[in-house]
Structure 1
């Protein structure tokens, strides 16, 4: 049995993705109908608009399309009028509600093992996803990101997943446990102070990935109900039910890698190729095979995210430019004029008048 600490040092990556798959087990939507209704929304309308078959929600081991699931959370935020829908849905989501991956965490012998199992096995619960543990001195980050660059609007999913992760710690250490920080890849929401209240910790937005940051302590604390024999059975069942960790198509995977690196300004071809496990020339050749250059892909990702972020009037044009990897707002404005023939401010003005949001 590998120790929790040594497994943490191994960063918890999964392997052997199955190209083209991006499913999530229906347990991730446990109680979503009643939560939507409790927030004043129409669940039937939400399900219809995003194409989710509610009959599948009744079996936690059935799969939903990941894009439809993420879209369901975005649509629920619109339907309920609660811009922080995902934040609060995740806060009330206990590990036992999460199906097989939640049961795996609960059956782990220690908190450290539970967190390591989340990092290793979450991409079976939710395909086309990367979760890993990263050490920085006495701090650890449980990181999470969707690899599919085609799924653009995904703020609600990120916030609810951070809440799900935090509740694994709270289950072991008590309801008063708090992380050191929480990181989110999307821009700062208008009601961002609710996030700090929910986690009782600083929340940083516009990051390269989503993460719960915590101190390297209490990892040897026993998990209530830990059971090694049950853990082994649950791990095997989760892997069998999922059928693999999945993977988006090649171009969407490249877009996802570019997106994650833009806020750090490290979206160069060498860095992205390394993140994809490819040689630079291989990445460029495969893009050329579909009629694209690397700069074409970066431009497309920046353009799509610019349109998404500009629908959030509380996020400044300067902040959007920084998140897209531009060193100066003037460079972002020039690029946006090239795409649309107008400035970001001019493009945004009629959206604000119509009251449109990022998900409209």
Structure 2
């Protein structure tokens, strides 16, 4: 049985601060939606998206500001998104930051599917509702898209300008504020919610890059997802593999045992979400390998065993399959600027 979508309560605090700055009592507005704002400081608390939609709609109605979503980003900071915020700050590039956002967006909300696609000379980030029968408030998409831009501008310490922004929402009153905020052409009543960026901007190295810090927060998010959604079998397997790989105990049998299920049941659960144990293992090894290689103090032989490979040649072959270069070549290219 699928749960109704939720959003992390810490995100609601930014909305509350924006309401307060506009001269309105956020507690009463949240209470009208059936939400206790005092619970928003609990790092594990999540609010139903249906009720948060009411909050957004009430915020627009009471403030008379159809562009209210654009006011929210200035009240966010890294802790708004918990470990995700710190992982984004520690990313090597804006592209890597957006890849993390895609991978861990469910730590913020499971109401939207976030995708990043490489095009010929650009990257396109798409935000899509996961349910055709549950449509979030337009303002929630405005706020999320604007916050992404706000965070990216902080990461690269310059005024990032997307190539284009498209929004499903109809054009609101005061629509000029959108083009002023995004500093890009904005298309309303579009077929999708998307932001397009130039490859040059996305691939430049960030001044705040810190692979070790990013890795720590990736692990925290993986563990959070495994607690948050017991039905997310991939998150469950990834969390267990993070513990078992470096101990040399990672195997499908041990993972299944840790989940209190048979190997056949594990195989079936993974097949239901169109993956398999080997693919999950391969992906987490690739992710960890890239993170370890960016930390020049970790010897290659140590990385081999941290990833659960029995022999350096096996690691070399796997890494060349993932990235098209050897581990040492990848390390040289990604630590040259340090």
Q: How much does 1:21 deviate?
A: 4.5
- The whole-number CA distance in structure 1 between the counterparts of 2:134 and 2:40 is 21
2: CA distance, partners of 1:217 / 1:64: 37
Partner of 1:73: 56
Confirm whether residue 218 of structure 1 aligns to residue 192 of structure 2.
Answer: no
Aligned length: 234
8 Å CA contact 2:12, 2:40 repeated in 1? yes
**Paired position in structure 2 for 1:255:** none
Q: For structure 1, which segment, 35-44 or 95-104, has the greater mean C-alpha deviation from structure 2 after superposition? A: 95-104
- What residue number does 1:36 align with? 19
Alignment map for 1:243-322 (pairs within 5 Å)? 243=226
Question: What corresponds to 2:220 in structure 1?
Answer: 237
Q: 2:135 aligns with which of 152, 175, 180?
A: 152
Greater C-alpha Rg: 2
Aligned mates of 1:239, 1:128 — CA distance in 2: 18
Kept after mapping to 2: 8 A contact 1:24/1:64:
yes
CA distance in 1, matches of 2:227, 2:132: 20
* CA deviations over 1:281-327 (Å, ceiling 9, x no partner): xxxxxxxxxxxxxxxxxxxxxxxxxxxxxxxxxxxxxxxxxxxxxxx
Residue number among 128, 144, 148 corresponding to 1:161 in the alignment? 144
Distance 1:222 1:27, change over 3 A: farther
Q: In structure 2, what is the equivalent of residue 194 of structure 1?
A: 177
2:30 counterpart residue number: 47
- How far did residue 97 of structure 1 move? 3.1
> Is residue 186 of structure 2 the alignment partner of residue 203 of structure 1?
yes
- How many angstroms does 1:210 deviate by? 1.4
Measured in 2, the distance between the counterparts of 1:20 and 1:224 equals 40
Q: Does 1:23 align with 2:9?
A: no
* Alpha-carbon distance, 1:153 to partner: 4.9
Is the Cα–Cα contact under 8 Å of residues 17 and 75 in structure 2 kept in the other structure? no
Give the TM-score normalised by structure 2.
0.62
Cα pair distance change 1:61/1:126, threshold 3 Å: same
With over 3 angstroms needed to count, the CA separation of the structure-2 counterparts of 1:62 and 1:94, relative to structure 1, is: same
Q: Is the 8 A contact 2:18 2:71 kept in 1?
A: no
Instruction: Name stretches of at least 5 consecutive residues in structure 2 with no aligned partner.
Output: 231-272, 275-338
| 8 Å contact kept, 2:81–2:108 | no
The equivalent residue for 2:99 is 116
Say whether the 8 Å CA contact 1:42–1:80 is kept in structure 2. no
The worse-fitting range, judged by mean Cα deviation, of 87-96 and 121-130 is 87-96
Q: Matched residue of 1:206: which SS?
A: coil
SS at match of 1:131: strand
C-alpha contact (below 8 Å) 1:133/1:142 kept by paired residues: yes
- The alpha-carbon distance between structure 1 residues 52 and 243, as it changes in their structure 2 partners (threshold 3 A), is farther
CA distance in 2, matches of 1:227, 1:153: 35
Between 137-146 and 57-66, report the one with greater CA deviation.
Answer: 57-66
Shift of 1:92: 4.9
Relative distance call for 1:201 and 1:240 in structure 2 (3 A) is same
Q: 8 Å contact 2:72–2:147 — kept in the other structure?
A: no
- Residue 39 of structure 1 deviates from its aligned partner by 1.0
Unaligned runs of 5+ in 1: 1-17, 248-276, 279-360
Aligned-partner Cα distance in 1 for 2:195–2:227: 25
